[in-house]
Structure 1
Amino acid sequence: MKRICILISAILLCFSATFAYSQEWPFDEPLPAEEKAVLDEAKTLREQGKYDELKKTLDYFENNPESVYAKKEKVFMSQGTEVPSEVQDGIKLYAEGKYKKSLQVLSKFLKKNPGNLAALSARAVTLATENPGEAIKECDRLMYYLPKYTQLYMAKGVAFRNLGKNEEAVKCFSAYIAFTPDSLIYKHRASTYCDLGRYDEALKDYTESIRLGEKSVEPYLNRGIVYCVLCDYDKAEADFEYYIKAGGKNTYVYKGLSILNINRDNYEKSLEYADTLVKLSPKSAESYYTRGGSYFYLENYKKALEDFDEAIKLNKKFSSAYSGRSITHQKLGNIKNAIADSEKAIKYASDVMDACEAYRAQGLAWLSAKQKENAVSSFEKALQYAYSDSKKQEIQELIQQAQDL
């Protein structure tokens, strides 16, 4: 959620330079039947995700600049770039995380000025965070008349992400890209692909974001993490090193370097990076979870438990930490605790990777308890969420071990 809010705040703060100023909503009067039919068709194509056809359909208005709709849209979208102070106040409140107050300010302004595009856009984005369901309805209403206005696709996509409907979010971000491909939206779609476990597609989008000139260095960090997941450790390391040299401040890079070295069987080096992460972010659950993983592979299970305990203390819904603590309990022969922690890991799983590792941990606990049917069942569920070819192969081997009991 924090990642999404930071990104959208950056977009909202650009309103004063990019969005039109208009007081009246220009589409209250009925449009000619032929023009309404075009908008109806555009709505259907948008809902079907047929963006190339959608663009061709909307060319009708480009080819008929004297149509009623084309004239209204042109005037609406080109009346200057001034943003009223009240709207600026609403945007500032959003950037500060004061979403309810932002909505109050923007909604009050829109009652008197229903056609102000900056206010309409800001309200849609704020709703995406505060009331995602309402945001989707609002975006759909506006999209009917403004089907090429990409900020609405962004707001609707964010709303779907906040509802956990990542497939729908991808469709919205893809629509944005169809009209205006830019580095920011590729980065946003890439993070959604990661939540879906579609890492090959995420990799392509992060690379495209970099190619299009994304000003921040964050895509290098994010792409490095994806390379880690896909077991391309040399490229991951190159991205992490570039990120650090370029002045990247996100300490998460040290988690990436720690995990990278675990996969290279360089556990001492992994621990060094994890220690650095804890020193830089001592109040982060991720820091202790990462170091717990290093201790686990060094077979220092006591230290691993201590760090997983601390991670869970800091974040009681941290699925990965429960998975880590579960497999540590399993190594120590504490099967009852291992099963209990795996159940919590499953409960709090928020993405494909979480789910895979949670069911894997549960399967390992049942395997240690020589509960063949339960182990096979858990591993088969883990296989459904396998997020890479190497993980799929690992889970298949575990299924075979369980079947051989």
Structure 2
Amino acid sequence: MEDNQNIQDKIKSFLEENRINVKGGTITSEKQLSLVLNDLAMGDFKKGKLDKALYFTEKAAEFNKENYYSYFIKGLVCRKLGKNEDAIEAFNVYCKDSDDSLTHIYMGLSYAELGNIENALDHLRKGEKNISKNEKEDHKLLICATYECIGNIYLSKENIVEFNERDKYSMNYKSAVRYYKMALKINRKNPDLINRLAACYYHLEDLNKALYCYEQAAKIVEDKSMYVEAIKEMHEAGAKSEPAGF
């Protein structure tokens, strides 16, 4: 083990090399320094200084191998840098210490961006199922993106239409509808998402709800021509607008 003087010299040297000015006290251990680096990394992440944030997360883990939260921050940074495989690796390390709902969501989004649909769905569902009410309120945009991503996964599944004697359509469209509506309840001003919901209802042969979706989308977009034509055709087919639950 290093003696205290060597540790202090090591801490002092690192602070000076990185021009870190510690206010409100003195750092007396590597564990304390590691926690300070967490704060610096998160601060730089929020400012968009991603390379610097990544550097501090890695140093935080070097100074204290049990500083698992540094891996969570590293995962956030790597996702922002488009390094989704590195992000997943970091999130996995953090989850070994804390089975955190938000981390599962971030992992799911990372897997989705890599095209790994099954792992994406597994982590997204696990995260959104266990997240607390307070976390949902504090991370509305993230939760909205989660529901939308799950809906997209169901909508894009191969062989989504399955013909059999009892049920003409698979549950995938219905599952996509469920999550799209959950996303739209958080943010209904998303015409692309409303359009995908309309497509689901169309495939489920619920033209009334599909018509409602097109009408809502037309209220948001500047160029309404596409929707005006679709609305006209659906009226001519006998559809009557019916609220779609968002």
Give yes or no for contact 1:220–1:240 (8 Å, CA) kept in 2: yes
Give yes or no for contact 2:41–2:56 (8 Å, CA) kept in 1: yes
Q: Counterpart of 2:71 in structure 1: which amino acid?
A: Y
Q: Counterpart of 1:196 in structure 2: which amino acid?
A: L
Alignment match of 2:178 (pick from 238, 243, 246)? 238
Distance change (3 Å), C-alpha of 1:108 and 1:292? farther
Q: Per-residue deviation at 1:265? A: 7.3
Q: Per-residue deviation at 1:249? A: 3.3
Give yes or no for contact 1:258–1:271 (8 Å, CA) kept in 2: yes
Give yes or no for contact 1:262–1:297 (8 Å, CA) kept in 2: no
C-alpha distance in 2 between matches for 1:128 and 1:28: 33
- Determine what percentage of the aligned residue pairs are the same residue: 17
Q: Counterpart of 1:276 in structure 2: which amino acid?
A: Q
Encode CA deviations 1:49-75: one digit per residue, 9 max, x unaligned.
xxxxxxxxxxxxxxxxxxxxxxxxxxx
Extract unaligned runs of 5+ from structure 2: 8-19, 137-142, 161-171, 234-246
Distance change (3 Å), C-alpha of 1:269 and 1:143? same
The total of aligned residue pairs comes to: 191
Quote the residue 2:150 is aligned against.
Answer: 223
Alignment match of 1:125 (pick from 42, 47, 53)? 42
Extract unaligned runs of 5+ from structure 1: 1-25, 31-106, 301-405
The root-mean-square deviation of aligned C-alpha atoms, in Å, is 3.9
Matched, 1:135 2:73: no
C-alpha distance in 2 between matches for 1:27 and 1:188: 39
Calculate the TM-score normalised by the size of structure 1: 0.39
Give yes or no for contact 1:160–1:166 (8 Å, CA) kept in 2: yes
The 5 Å alignment of 1:96-245 reads: 108-109=21-22, 115=32, 119-129=36-46, 130-215=48-133, 216=136, 218=144, 219-230=146-157, 231=160, 232-242=172-182
Give yes or no for contact 1:128–1:135 (8 Å, CA) kept in 2: yes
Q: Counterpart of 2:187 in structure 1: which amino acid?
A: K
Distance change (3 Å), C-alpha of 1:124 and 1:250? farther
Higher helix share: 1
Give yes or no for contact 2:198–2:211 (8 Å, CA) kept in 1: yes
Give yes or no for contact 2:45–2:53 (8 Å, CA) kept in 1: yes
Q: Per-residue deviation at 1:151? A: 2.3
Give yes or no for contact 1:224–1:240 (8 Å, CA) kept in 2: yes
Alignment match of 1:273 (pick from 187, 202, 213)? 213
Give yes or no for contact 2:147–2:179 (8 Å, CA) kept in 1: yes
C-alpha distance in 2 between matches for 1:213 and 1:240: 18
Calculate the TM-score normalised by the size of structure 2: 0.60
Give yes or no for contact 1:262–1:294 (8 Å, CA) kept in 2: no
